[in-house]
C-alpha cells in the first residue's frame, strides 16, 4: 500500500504485480476509501466494540469508489 | 478474557498516546493509565491485538509495532502537523487516514517514491486532499482487497 509519483512509477516499481493495474487509484479515491467510520471513528472511545458495525459501510464505499472492480471485491 | 469496555479503553489510550507523543506506550504505561496491575496491562494489550484489527506487535515481543493509522517503527511515510514531525504512518493508505487523528488541522505527508526515489508531498485535512506534489501522485496496492487480511503486514 504505497504512494508513487505517477501511475507510470507504480507500473515500473520492482514489486509491481502484472495484472494488478486495478490497484492503482487516485489520491482522491484513496481518501474516499479511508473516510468511512471504520477509519474516522478510531478516536470515538468505543472503537473496538463498534468496529464490527463498520465493515458493511467500508465495503460499500470501496465498491462505489472502484466501480465494483473485482480486484476490490471483499473477502467471500 | 477482558470485557469489551476495557478493550475500548485500552485502544483509546494507545491511540491518544500515539497522537500526543508519536510513539505507542509500553504495556506498563497501559496498566498505569487504566489503574490495573502490570500483568493486567500486558493481558489487555495481548487481547486487544488478538481481536482482529489490523494492529500487530513486533514478533516475539509485547511491543507495539503497528497501530493504524500510525506505525511505531519508522516507515517511509513521515507525518507532520503544525511543523512537528513526530509520526510515521503504517502505509500509504493509512497516511491519508491520519487526518482523522488531527481534526481541523493539515497533516503533511512526506515519502519517497519507491520507484524513482524522488519526493512525494501530500497535504490532507479532514478528508480532503489539499495539495499533492506531484499532482500525478497515485496510490497502489499489489494485493487484491480479498487477500489483505491474509497478507496484512506485507500489504
Q: Are B154 and B89 found together in one domain?
A: yes
Q: Taking CA atoms, what residue in B is nearest to A54?
A: B53
B3-26 tens-digit pLDDT = 999 999 999 999 999 999 999 999
pLDDT of B153 reads 67
Q: Would the CB atoms of A43 and B53 count as touching at under 8 Å?
A: no
Domain that holds residue B49: 4-67
Q: Is the ipTM of this complex over 0.90?
A: yes
Q: Is the pLDDT of residue A75 over 90?
A: no
Q: Are B42 and B20 found together in one domain?
A: yes
CA dihedral B21, B24, B26, B27 (to 10 degrees): 120
Q: Are B86 and B117 found together in one domain?
A: yes
Q: Would the CB atoms of A27 and B122 count as touching at under 8 Å?
A: yes
Q: Taking CA atoms, what residue in B is nearest to A28?
A: B129
In chain B, what percentage of residues exceed pLDDT 70?
Answer: 97
Final residue in a domain of this structure, among B20, B43, B67: B67
Q: How many domains does chain B have?
A: 2
Q: Are B116 and B137 found together in one domain?
A: yes
Residue with cell 486487544: B48
Cell, residue A24: 492503482
A51-65 tens-digit pLDDT = 999 999 999 999 999
Angle at B118 between CA B114 and CA B124, to 5 degrees: 85
Domain of residue B51, CATH code = 1.10.10
In the structure, what pLDDT confidence band is assigned to residue B64 with cuts at 50, 70 and 90? very high
Amino acid at each position: 500500500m504505497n504512494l508513487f509519483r505517477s501511475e507510470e512509477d507504480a507500473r515500473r516499481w520492482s514489486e509491481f504485480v502484472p495484472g494488478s493495474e486495478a490497484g492503482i487509484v487516485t489520491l482522491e479515491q484513496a481518501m474516499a476509501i479511508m473516510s468511512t467510520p471504520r477509519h474516522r471513528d478510531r478516536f470515538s472511545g468505543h472503537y473496538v466494540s463498534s468496529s464490527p458495525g463498520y465493515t458493511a459501510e467500508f465495503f460499500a464505499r470501496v465498491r462505489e469508489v472502484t466501480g465494483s472492480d473485482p480486484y476490490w471485491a471483499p473477502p467471500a | 478474557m477482558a470485557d469489551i469496555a476495557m478493550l475500548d479503553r485500552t485502544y483509546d489510550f494507545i491511540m491518544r498516546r500515539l497522537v500526543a507523543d508519536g510513539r505507542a506506550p509500553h504495556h506498563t504505561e497501559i496498566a498505569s493509565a487504566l489503574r490495573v496491575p502490570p500483568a493486567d496491562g500486558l493481558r489487555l494489550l495481548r487481547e486487544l491485538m488478538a481481536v482482529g484489527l489490523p494492529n500487530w506487535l513486533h514478533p516475539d515481543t509485547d511491543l507495539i509495532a503497528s497501530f493504524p493509522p500510525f506505525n511505531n517503527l519508522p516507515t517511509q511515510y513521515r507525518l507532520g502537523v503544525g511543523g512537528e514531525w513526530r509520526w510515521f504512518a503504517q502505509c500509504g493508505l493509512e497516511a491519508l487516514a491520519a487526518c482523522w487523528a488531527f481534526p481541523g488541522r493539515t497533516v503533511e505527508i512526506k515519502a519517497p517514491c519507491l520507484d524513482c526515489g524522488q519526493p512525494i508531498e501530500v497535504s490532507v485535512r479532514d478528508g480532503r486532499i489539499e495539495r499533492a506534489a506531484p499532482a500525478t501522485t497515485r496510490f497502489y496496492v499489489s494485493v487484491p482487497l480479498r487477500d489483505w487480511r491474509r497478507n496484512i503486514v506485507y500489504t
